[in-house]
Amino acid sequence: MALDDVKPGDKLIANNGRYCRIIEVERVTPTLVIAEGVKYSKKTGYESGPRSTWAGCHVSPATESIVAELEEETRRQLLINNIVCDKQTLRTFSTEKLEKLYGILVTDIKPQCRH
């Protein structure tokens, strides 16, 4: 997708093949779009200059729906990471509080075993 109509301040979707993120256009030349200090070809959307095929990033214009979708996914992933990675806080919860939390996460609590 061509980047002929983008201007400074516009949002782009940057995709490196592993993840997507939102970046903002800083400057535009007749052949390049510069965002976060990186130059992209207006014609192809790929990083300009020498690059290896696996490291190259591609940009495309961001629509409101794509931006909203990426922001929602980022928010969800942050919540998931915080729940999964905060074992220290979970260790301070009472058994009852853990059961309530577990009940929210999975609708039917059936402990594997009780001693």
| pLDDT at residue 94, as a whole number | 92
- Please tell me the distance from the alpha carbon of residue 44 to that of residue 58, in angstroms, as a whole number: 8
Question: Where exactly are the structural domains of the chain?
Answer: 11-62, 67-105
Q: Tell me: the pLDDT tens digits for 58-115?
A: 999 999 999 999 989 989 888 888 777 677 788 888 999 988 888 887 765 455 544 4
| Ramachandran category for residue 9: left, alpha or beta (phi over 0 → left; psi -120 to 50 → alpha) | left
Q: Tell me: the pLDDT tens digits for 12-56?
A: 999 988 888 899 999 999 999 999 999 999 999 999 877 645 567
Q: Which residues of 39-76 are buried (b: 16+ CB within 10 A; e: fewer)?
A: ebbbeebebbeeeeeeebbbbbbbeeeeeeebeeeeee
| pLDDT at residue 24, as a whole number | 95
Could you tell me which of 70, 72, 49, 75 has the C-alpha nearest to residue 60?
70
| pLDDT at residue 81, as a whole number | 82
> Do residues 24 and 11 lie in contact, with contact meaning Cβ atoms separated by under 8 Å?
yes
- Please tell me the distance from the alpha carbon of residue 10 to that of residue 103, in angstroms, as a whole number: 43
Q: Is the pTM of this model over 0.75?
A: no
